[in-house]
Every structure is written in structure tokens, then in C-alpha cells.
Amino acid sequence: MHMAQQSVGKFRRQRLLIALVVAAMVLLLTLTFRFVQARSNIEQRSQDFANSAIDRFDRMLSPLDVSASNTLGLVGVPCQNVRFPLIEKIAALQTVRAVLLVDQDTIYCSSIYGERNLSFSLAFPELALNGQRMLLTTDAWLLKGSPVLLLWNPKSLDNRSGIVQIVNIELISNYLLVPELPWVERAILNVGNESLEYGNPLIEGTVPAEDEVKFEQASLRYPYTITLYGPAPWRLALATLPEQLPLALLLSLLFGYIVWMATANRMSLSWQINYGIGADEFRVYCQPLIDGGNGECAGIELLLRWHNPRHGWVAPDVFIPLAERHNLIAPLTRFVISKVVEQLPQLPQRSDFHIALNVAASHFRDCEIVHDLETLWWPAEPVPRLVLELTERDALPVVDQQVVAMLHKVGVQLAIDDFGTGHSSLSYLKDLQPDILKIDKIFTAAIGTDAINATVTDMVISLAQRLNISLVAEGVETAEQAEYLRLRAVDVLQGYFFARPMPIEDFSFWLRQFEMQRSQVNMNSASATQGTLA
């Protein structure tokens, strides 16, 4: 039972390990998912900010395009005739600081100063010569040094006549480019090679700081771009993980608990025993029983072995106690009966050959063992005699006396296994009326080494012989032990000295080899005897 408890503890540790691994994976996956989601949200927020800024700039510039198109007809008209209409347009647009009329490469009229006579090519070569339509520069006339945005709307294909609108871009950019912390720390308007940053009245180039990344978006309608600088999205996403940790821990604990509960059956040894029966994972072995008088094979004891594909070979000392505790011993016994019935044709067809089967005392309740024998054993019309061995790990008094009587009536013999090691009581011999007592291997091993246990062995032998009960000695491993037991007229010997447990399918081959060896030994003995007599 101690080994069974150790095995149960091992399975529980495996369940715990699996639950912890799943919980850790859920924690990691949840935090990873939240990290990726946060990073994506931050990137999306930056893009939304840039799109929104571009949309607002475009909407601000669109009326200026319309106004310029409506004003192109004034180009070429004397300045004194168009100055007041230009002032009215400026008042209506609000964002425009001044309007310049250009004719034949000459700025000849200003809405602020009236008549002018300046070379357009010399004043604004980017617009006149380079074909640009927008120019970010500084005001040279009204508010000197302040940033302005020039919008050029040409009237002629030669780019020598048209309208220049001077937009007060500093106020507009400070309104439209307000950064959204923490994902946008700096917002910049770029026109050509010039840049205007929010909060900075100077037009100058910009570069990201050491810990900033750059995001840029271009307008599809006008020749400008919006550049954003801010922390790397992964850094901001990483900073949000502590906020996600409680939820991630809760989910990981929940999934770990679900896995712990879900594996309560599948990871339990009792569930795997039940599964193993249906999956044919168990193997029926047998160990020969040797007649102590003539040395012939008098029968076999059926043993059950379990090869679990998930855990390898599982010792009987582990799964048998657990099967008894979880009421699975009866299904295992039925499995053994059905398998040995399949092998009956290969076994000796002699009535003095007996087949010993271990049966738990709990299997005797409600005549369950009798019903199983009637269903599985007797229909096969077996010739060998059946012996049911009751192990003393069960409380033997629970065995139904009526069932014992029924078994004796149909010729089934009853044996008490491991006699003297468990709940032994001399009253059992009276109540159960066993046909066979099996001397436990601990007493056999004491022969020649342990005087006290050897004395107990002698007492058990004497008691059985006085009560006319047959004896089977288990665990015979040496010739000395075998000879000791033979001299005391022990009926049947069993142990590694004669044969190790083997698959029941191999028994017929072993028996042929065993009988051939005995015949050879007998022939040699007979020859030696004749030689001595001669």
C-alpha cells in the first residue's frame, strides 16, 4: 500500500506540474496578447492622430483653394481696383494674413501694403521656379520672423501669374498639432524641406531624440506631411503590463484550476486502470507450481501485469491495492478469467492440474464471483481444477460463507494467500474451510537464516498437515529452501528456483522444455543406478 500511496503522490505531482505549466502558459499568453494589443492600440492611436491632423489641415486649406480660384480673375486688374475686395476675402477667411497678386513675374499688389513692385522669382524662387505650390517660410514684411505658409495658385501655365496667400500657420499649427501624450510627444508640419514643430516658432529641421521613434503620414491632397515623434510603442505597451497582471493572474489561476479538475480523472491511477482494461493494456502472466513430491508441474498461478504506454510497467504492488480501493478489482479479475479461458486449449488437460486465481474478498459479495464463473469460466468446460486465492490484505471475515459453500459444491478450491502476514486468525480456518494455505515468501526466505521465522514456518506446516489442508510455499529461490520444504512434505513449491513468471502464452513451450529436462535427469539417474548395481 505504501507503494500505491507513492504512486498516487506521483500522479498528483504530475497533475500539479501540468496545472502549473498550463497556468504559466496562460499567464504568458495573456500578457503577450495584452502586450501585442496595447502596442497595436498605441500604433493605431498615433496613426489616428496623424490622420486627424491631416484631415483638419486639409479642411482648413480647402476653403483657401476655393477662394483662390474665385480670386484668380482679379490678377492683372490694377491694384487700386482690387485691394478692397482682397481685404474683404481676408476678413472672411480669417486664417489668411495677406494676399499677393502676381502678374508677369511681378508682385504688383498686396492686400496690406497696396501697390508693390517686386520680382516674384527673386522673392520666392521655390514657387516661381521650382514648381512648388506650398512654401513654409518666415514673414519678411508684417510680423518679421514669424512662420507663415505660402499657398501659390498659378493663373498661367508659365507659372508667372497667379495668387499667393500668406497663412498665419503658427497659430493654426499650435491648434491642430497639440500632442497626445504619451504616444505622441512631438507633432511637426513638413512642407518641402522645412518643418514647423508644435510649440516652436522657428522653422528648422527636426530629428528624434535617442529614445523616440518617428511616424510620418502624408496628405493625399496637398504637398505636406505630418511627422510624429514619441516613445517606441513596445515601450509604452510594456509599461502597461503591470496593469494587466491581475487579470492575467486571475485567468492563469482559473485555467490552472480547470486543468487540475479536468485531470482529476484522466491523471488518476484508478481512471487509468479502468481505461487500461478497455484498451487491453494488461497482460496475464503465470508462474508454474511444482509438486513437492514428484517434481512435476502441478499447476500455475495467474498473475496480472500492466504495461501502461504512458508510464511503462506498473508494479502490481502499486495498482492492485488501488484497484481494490476503487472497486476495480472485480473487472480486473474478469479480465484475467477471460484471457485464461482463451488459453485453456494450450494448457494441460488434466484434472489434477490446477489453475490458481487471486480473488479479492470484496468479489464474494452478492455471489458476484459465482455469477462471473458461470458466465466466463464454466461455459468453456475446463478440465483443470480452479483454485481461488484469497489475499489477506482484505478483511477475510467479509467473505460470504454461502458463496464459499457454493464454490466447494461445484469443485472450486479455496486458498488463503500470504497466510500469516495480514489479518490472520485461526478462526478463519474454521469459518472459510480453505483447501490450501500458501506460505508467504518472507517465511520461505527465512529458511536457514532466521530462526524465529523458520520456527513459524514449521508451525504453519504442522498446523496445515494436522487440519489436512494442502500447502503451497511461495518464494522458493534456492535448492536449500526447496529441499527443506520437501523434507517437511510441503505439497507444492513455487518460486524463481523453478521458473520466473511468464506470459501465459509462453507456458506451453516452457512446460515442454521442463518435461524434457526432467526426462533427461531421470534417464541419467536410472543409468547411474544400473551402473552402480552392475
**Residues whose CB falls within 8 Å of the CB of residue 460, separated by 6 or more in sequence, listed in order:** 419, 420, 437, 439, 443, 471
Sign of the torsion angle spanned by Cα atoms 124, 129, 135, 137 = negative
| Residue 480, phi-psi category: left (phi > 0), alpha (psi -120 to 50), beta (remainder) | alpha
Confidence at residue 1, expressed as pLDDT on a 0 to 100 scale: 43
Across-strand partners of 196?
Answer: 189, 203
In percent, how much of the chain has pLDDT > 90?
A: 31
Strand pairing report for 225-231 and 297-308: unpaired
In percent, how much of the chain has pLDDT > 70?
A: 89
| Residue 168, phi-psi category: left (phi > 0), alpha (psi -120 to 50), beta (remainder) | beta
Position 4 pLDDT exceeds 50 = no
Confidence at residue 8, expressed as pLDDT on a 0 to 100 scale: 52
Q: Taking a C-beta distance cutoff of 8 angstroms, is the pair 290, 492 a contact?
A: yes
**Domains recognised in the chain with CATH numbers:** 1-267 (no CATH), 281-511 (3.20.20.450)
pLDDT digits (tens, 9 = 90+) for 404-453: 888 888 889 999 887 766 555 566 677 778 899 888 888 888 887 766 66
Q: Is the model more confident about 65 or about 269?
A: 65
CA distance 362 to 330: 8
DSSP at 505: G
pLDDT digits (tens, 9 = 90+) for 117-129: 999 999 999 898 8
pLDDT digits (tens, 9 = 90+) for 182-225: 888 889 999 988 898 888 888 887 777 777 888 899 999 999 99
Q: Name the band, by pLDDT with cuts 50, 70 and 90, for residue 526.
A: low
Which amino acid does the sequence have at 421? T
Q: Name the band, by pLDDT with cuts 50, 70 and 90, for residue 3.
A: very low
CA dihedral 207, 213, 217, 222 (to 10 degrees): -10
Confidence at residue 382, expressed as pLDDT on a 0 to 100 scale: 92
| Residue 420, phi-psi category: left (phi > 0), alpha (psi -120 to 50), beta (remainder) | left
Residue 341 C-alpha cell reads as 479461458
Which amino acid does the sequence have at 270? S
CA distance 139 to 123: 12
Which amino acid does the sequence have at 367? C
In this structure, of 29-38, 339-348, 466-475, 518-527, the range with the lowest mean pLDDT score is 518-527
pLDDT digits (tens, 9 = 90+) for 10-52: 666 777 888 888 888 988 998 888 889 988 998 899 899 999 9
CA distance 349 to 334: 22
Q: Taking a C-beta distance cutoff of 8 angstroms, is the pair 288, 297 a contact?
A: yes
Position 488 pLDDT exceeds 80 = yes
Look at residues 66, 114, 106 and name the one whose alpha carbon lies nearest to residue 89: 66
CA distances from 326 to 251, 271, 330, 368, 482 (A): 34, 9, 10, 16, 38
Confidence at residue 173, expressed as pLDDT on a 0 to 100 scale: 83
Q: Where are the beta strands (DSSP E) in 156-296?
A: 162-167, 186-191, 194-197, 212-218, 225-231, 282-291
DSSP at 219: -
What value, to the nearest 5°, has the Cα angle with vertex 384 and ends 381 and 388? Answer: 100
**Number of C-beta neighbours around residue 330 at 10 A:** 18
Is the entire prediction scored with pTM above 0.85? no
Look at residues 305, 311, 365, 362 and name the one whose alpha carbon lies nearest to residue 335: 305
Q: Taking a C-beta distance cutoff of 8 angstroms, is the pair 494, 288 a contact?
A: yes
Q: Name the band, by pLDDT with cuts 50, 70 and 90, for residue 267.
A: very low
| Residue 131, phi-psi category: left (phi > 0), alpha (psi -120 to 50), beta (remainder) | left
Secondary structure of residue 277 in the 3-state scheme = helix
Confidence at residue 399, expressed as pLDDT on a 0 to 100 scale: 66
Position 135 pLDDT exceeds 60 = yes
The whole-chain average pLDDT of the chain stands at: 84
Q: Taking a C-beta distance cutoff of 8 angstroms, is the pair 511, 348 a contact?
A: yes
Residue 196 C-alpha cell reads as 514647423
> What mean pLDDT do residues 318-325 have?
76
CA distance 199 to 175: 10
> What mean pLDDT do residues 298-316 have?
85
| Residue 482, phi-psi category: left (phi > 0), alpha (psi -120 to 50), beta (remainder) | alpha
> What mean pLDDT do residues 510-522 have?
86
Q: Is the model more confident about 291 or about 309?
A: 291
CA atoms within 13 A on the CB side of 250: 5
pLDDT digits (tens, 9 = 90+) for 391-404: 755 555 556 678 88
| Residue 192, phi-psi category: left (phi > 0), alpha (psi -120 to 50), beta (remainder) | left
- DSSP assignment string, 429-464: HHHH--SEEEE-HHHHHTTTT-HHHHHHHHHHHHHH
**Residues whose CB falls within 8 Å of the CB of residue 448, separated by 6 or more in sequence, listed in order:** 454, 480, 481, 484
| Residue 159, phi-psi category: left (phi > 0), alpha (psi -120 to 50), beta (remainder) | left
Q: Is the model more confident about 399 or about 131?
A: 131
In this structure, of 71-80, 312-321, 361-370, the range with the lowest mean pLDDT score is 312-321
CA distance 233 to 168: 33
Q: What does the buried/exposed string (b/e) look like for 10-35 if buried means 16 or more CB atoms within 10 Å of the residue's CB?
A: ebeeebeebbeebbeebbeebbeebb
Q: What does the buried/exposed string (b/e) look like for 249-270 if buried means 16 or more CB atoms within 10 Å of the residue's CB?
A: eebbeebbeebbeebeeebbbb
